[in-house]
Amino acid sequence: MRAGGPGSVPALELRGITKRFGDLVANRSVDFDVLAGEVHALLGENGAGKTTVMRIAYGLTHADAGKVLVDGHQVAIRSPRDAIAAGIGMVTQHFSLVGPMSVAENLALGRARSLRLDLGEARRRAAHASDRFGISVDPDARVADLSVGEQQRVEILKALARDCRILILDEPTAVLVPTEVDALFATLRSLLAEGLSVVFISHKLGEVRAISDRVSVLRRGELVGTVVGSTDERELARMMVGRPTFGVERADDAPGSSEAEVALQVRDLRLDGPHGRPALADITLEVRSGEILGVAGVSGNGQTELMAILSGMRRASAGSVSVDGRDLTGADPRRVTAARVGRIPEDRHASLIPDLSVAYNLVMERLDEFRRGGRIDERAIRAHADEMIARFDIRASPDDRVATLSGGNIQKVLLARVLSRDPRVLIVSQPTRGLDVGATEYVRSQLLARRADGAAILLVSEDLDELLALADRLIVLYEGRIAGEMTAAEADREHLGMLMAGRGRVA
């Protein structure tokens, strides 16, 4: 443990925290603390209560019972303003940035001493914070124009720039690549040496073991144990889910090979970007039946634009796209879907309608198939939902609003909607981002099952372990171009990391 010791007063302490949402008990008498100079990780499946208990510490949610103490003194945390005043900062899973504003303006929000913002001073402060904490950002960039990974960096910098003494990080590395994770951990270690306290919520057990002094596990709202120092990842996973977990094993005899038919073909794809710089340039690739082509790259290097074009959400400036020889260049999402192309985008929440039921979200893209005589067949929709819930192990009922589901179950709803149509080609982006161990295992097994059935899968992920575990071949995108291509057998993390950082290219 880096700091503190027996008898040390915790920097942050939660005692007997209980929170109910109707009949659901999100937290039951949870005790948790973090010492100065320590990283205390909090693990648990989606819905275990991790985020809820930390939202209470930050004033975003109010506890039904329990106390929050800072430096041994009870404090009333009624809002984030109270938390910030007490020296607590938090980076949440869902960003709290203002899209139309610049990075500098977002960092200055809540800090201005008058109604008028000094933009020059805001830029200087942002640049100083970027240099101090080693997190590279463009102070003048508009947040809405940034990629998901770039926005995450701004969120982390915003919390650190407020000079908090207790930093809560909720899935901070979910959208970061290894070099960025290493840089973040280096920054945290230097701040820990100065007495910063960190609560680290993550599903990435390897990262938890690398950065944490203690690890506590929540299951169904209750604390089930705390481990000091390093421990086996399988044991941590068992504590989280209450049973042994097993890695996903891929089948080596899947039909994908150099002899299989090309299902997805992209030629000389180009997308013009702002300021005359292309967002994508000279993208040529193909994916064969029974093959997974992994796409690696630091967020913001063209992955989002490539997925948007292939799913029909954007038109390319030049080049062609075809599926099984059928030209889909410039096709809209309806035509793309009709060509048996399934798409699982990186933002699962934006792909579903939160206030609609599970049953209706499952048929949203094929509602015409559930009409009888011009009227919607409610019975058929419910029967379909019952079938999908059983088949894809969705922990919900047909009438549940999607907004009430955990991240893992939301992703299962999306998987069910897409895979039930037996797609020939799957365009998949960040399929396990923010998911717990069990849900990640399930999603990956579904992708491998589709591969074994002959589907061609283009998989974009910022999790290198995921790409190395699932992909047959990999390409690396850097500044909108393919910086390298290799088989999974040829790939290693160091080489991929260099390509992702723009250092070195292969033909």
Higher-confidence residue: 300 or 476? 476
> What string of DSSP letters covers 56-125?
HHHTSS--SEEEEEETTEE----SHHHHHHTTEEEE-SS----TTSBHHHHHHTTT-SSSS--HHHHHHH
Examine the pLDDT at 350 and tell me if it is beyond 50. Answer: yes
Examine the pLDDT at 469 and tell me if it is beyond 50. Answer: yes
Please give the C-alpha separations between residue 401 and each of 62, 318, 352, 437, 463, in angstroms, as whole numbers.
23, 41, 11, 24, 30
Examine the pLDDT at 298 and tell me if it is beyond 90. Answer: no
Residue 4 confidence (pLDDT): 55
Tell which CATH architecture fits domain 10-87+165-246: 3-Layer(aba) Sandwich (3.40)
What is the distance between the alpha carbons of residues 261 and 248, in angstroms, rounded to a whole number?
A: 26
Please give the C-alpha separations between residue 31 and each of 74, 223, 436, in angstroms, as whole numbers.
14, 7, 22
pLDDT digits (tens, 9 = 90+) for 377-416: 999 999 999 999 999 989 899 999 999 988 888 999 999 9
Between CA 164 and CA 172, with CA 169 as vertex, the angle to 5 degrees is: 130
Q: How confident is the model at residue 506 (pLDDT cuts 50, 70, 90)?
A: very low
38 within 8 A of 4, measured Cβ to Cβ: yes
Residue 114 confidence (pLDDT): 57
| Residue percentage of the chain with pLDDT more than 70 | 91
Q: Which residues contact 286 (CB under 8 A, 6 or more apart)?
A: 262, 264, 265, 266
What is the distance between the alpha carbons of residues 320 and 329, in angstroms, rounded to a whole number?
A: 5
What is the distance between the alpha carbons of residues 302 and 304, in angstroms, rounded to a whole number?
A: 6
Examine the pLDDT at 2 and tell me if it is beyond 60. Answer: no
Region 178-191: mean pLDDT is 81
Higher-confidence residue: 451 or 173? 451
299 within 8 A of 175, measured Cβ to Cβ: yes
Q: How confident is the model at residue 258 (pLDDT cuts 50, 70, 90)?
A: low
- Kindly report the three-state secondary structure assignment for every residue of 338-388: HCCEEEECCCCHHHCCCCCEHHHHHCHHHHHHHEECCEECHHHHHHHHHHH
Q: How confident is the model at residue 496 (pLDDT cuts 50, 70, 90)?
A: confident
Residue 206 confidence (pLDDT): 82
Please give the C-alpha separations between residue 329 and each of 247, 284, 313, 388, 501, in angstroms, as whole numbers.
38, 14, 12, 32, 30
Given the structure tokens 């609609």, which residue do they identify? 356
Number of residues that make up the chain: 507
Given the structure tokens 């960096």, which residue do they identify? 153
Examine the pLDDT at 243 and tell me if it is beyond 70. Answer: no
DSSP bridge pairs for 481: 478
Examine the pLDDT at 507 and tell me if it is beyond 50. Answer: no
Region 154-166: mean pLDDT is 85
- Kindly report the three-state secondary structure assignment for every residue of 156-207: HHHHHHCCCCEEEEECCCCCCCHHHHHHHHHHHHHHHCCCCEEEEECCCHHH
User: Is 462 in a helix, a strand, or coil?
Assistant: coil
Examine the pLDDT at 111 and tell me if it is beyond 80. Answer: no
Examine the pLDDT at 299 and tell me if it is beyond 80. Answer: no
Please give the C-alpha separations between residue 341 and each of 293, 429, 472, in angstroms, as whole numbers.
15, 14, 20
* Side-chain-facing half-sphere of 437: CA atoms under 13 Å: 25
DSSP bridge pairs for 267: 320
Examine the pLDDT at 149 and tell me if it is beyond 70. Answer: no
If you average pLDDT over every residue of the chain, what do you get? Answer: 87
Q: How confident is the model at residue 14 (pLDDT cuts 50, 70, 90)?
A: very high
Given the structure tokens 């005790």, which residue do they identify? 31
What is the distance between the alpha carbons of residues 52 and 318, in angstroms, rounded to a whole number?
A: 47
Instruction: Classify domain 262-500 at the CATH superfamily level.
Output: P-loop containing nucleotide triphosphate hydrolases (3.40.50.300)
140 within 8 A of 127, measured Cβ to Cβ: no
Examine the pLDDT at 219 and tell me if it is beyond 80. Answer: yes
Residue 117 confidence (pLDDT): 74
> Which strand ranges, in their side-by-side order, compose the sheet holding 278-288?
278-288, 262-272, 318-323, 326-327
User: Is 26 in a helix, a strand, or coil?
Assistant: strand
Examine the pLDDT at 277 and tell me if it is beyond 70. Answer: yes
Identify which of 109, 119, 102, 40 has the alpha carbon closest to the alpha carbon of residue 80: 109
Residue 436 confidence (pLDDT): 75
Identify which of 177, 169, 8 has the alpha carbon closest to the alpha carbon of residue 92: 169
Region 333-348: mean pLDDT is 91
Residue 351 confidence (pLDDT): 85
Region 445-452: mean pLDDT is 94
Residue 31 confidence (pLDDT): 97
Range scoring the smallest mean pLDDT among 129-133, 398-402, 456-460:
129-133
Strand pairing report for 473-478 and 292-296: parallel
Q: How confident is the model at residue 250 (pLDDT cuts 50, 70, 90)?
A: low
Residue 200 confidence (pLDDT): 95
